[in-house]
Amino acid sequence: MYDIFHELIKEIKNKYTFVKHKKTLFMKCILVTGMAGFIGYHLSKLLKSEGYEVVGIDNLNDYYDPNLKLARLQNLGFTTESISYNVPLKSENCTFYKLDLTDLENLKGLFEQHKFEVVINLAAQAGVRYSIENPHAYVDSNISGFLNILESCRAFPVKHLIFASSSSVYGLTEDLPFHEDNCTDHPISLYAASKKANEMMAHSYANLYDIPCTGLRFFTVYGPLGRPDMAYYIFTKAMLEGKEFDVFNNGEMSRDFTYIADIVESIKRLMPLPPKKNNIAFNAAKPSTSKSSASYQLFNIGNNSPVALMEYIKAIEKALHIKGKINFKPMQAGDVVSTYANVNSLFDYINFKPSTTVEDGIAAFVKSYKEYISN
């Protein structure tokens, strides 16, 4: 009886080892573009901590303070004193290249060298308001750069391409909460238009070359080491310095604020779940934007719980124990009053829901911000 039991346990262990090894094979090498950016950094940190082999690229541009980007890379274990273009930096199961998405030759060389199985494209020129002043930067990075990612995935096939879109694609629609099948034909900024273009470009490559593509429409991501151009960062900095800060539309706005840890956990769970061709789910007579006969899918990725902007500011005031000096202003061009994500499709697909409250998320940001500026 003992021998039978011993052999049964051995067989179970062998099966478990095989399944674990199979997962490791599928996730052998992952590319994260925009590794030094806000979401790219946190995703790389999560994947690195769980033993994935991660390669990251970033052009380290000066849209905001490059020192913050270098600090993120240092937190990933890289020595950043001497960074050279397209020369690898190494840390434990993590490699970084300073590389621009518009450099197709070197990008393809990277794909050929590393044989990526999963590509997560987070590199982009961000910022709705900045796109009004510097439109060419968005065409270069968000459209030409993304085309180069698609071409590289075509030349060196991957098992899953996950790419960043944005809630801004919903534009003028007031049909809340935003659902993936809502009309997205009325963008109100070039940034939004560039993200809409990314969705269409990815679909065409999924259809033509069977590249499994998942687009993620991010809703107001926040958290530690976030971007300095984001409202919560600006508010916190101003409060600590005793300065006034602008709040638009007289504060009568709401956002589906989503904590960074919930975002990157969702992406991690999506990696081994590429879309497949599905002629049954797609109705060519009445097509939807989120479903396709090609290996392509779109998801909102948000908290599914919009918060009034003034309540968000109160959470920052509470964390800082400071009353903000608010300068109310009218609505800015390219902005919207409310965002609110219907995320049922994503929750069902990955079996995960965000759980971080605004109070906890803001407290974590404030703590990290104070640590960052003290250093």
Active site residues: 191
Distance CA 207, CA 247 (A): 43
| Helix pair 145-155, 190-209: axis angle to 10 deg | 10
67: which 2 tokens? 């020192």
What single string gives the DSSP state of each residue in 304-373? S--EEHHHHHHHHHHHHT---EEEEEPPPTT--SB--B--HHHHHHHT------HHHHHHHHHHHHHHHH
Distance CA 289, CA 307 (A): 27
Which residues is 325 bridged to in the sheet? Answer: 244
Distance CA 104, CA 306 (A): 40
**Is residue 200 within a helix (H) or strand (E), and if so which, with residue range?**
helix 190-209
Single-letter amino acid, residue 138: Y
Distance CA 307, CA 313 (A): 10
332: which 2 tokens? 């800015």
Distance CA 234, CA 142 (A): 25
Which residues 6+ apart lie within 8 Å of 106 measured at CB?
A: 86, 99
How many CA atoms are closer than 13 Å to the CA of 298, on its beta-carbon side? 28
Distance CA 333, CA 356 (A): 31
Distance CA 302, CA 356 (A): 11
Which residues is 247 bridged to in the sheet? Answer: 328
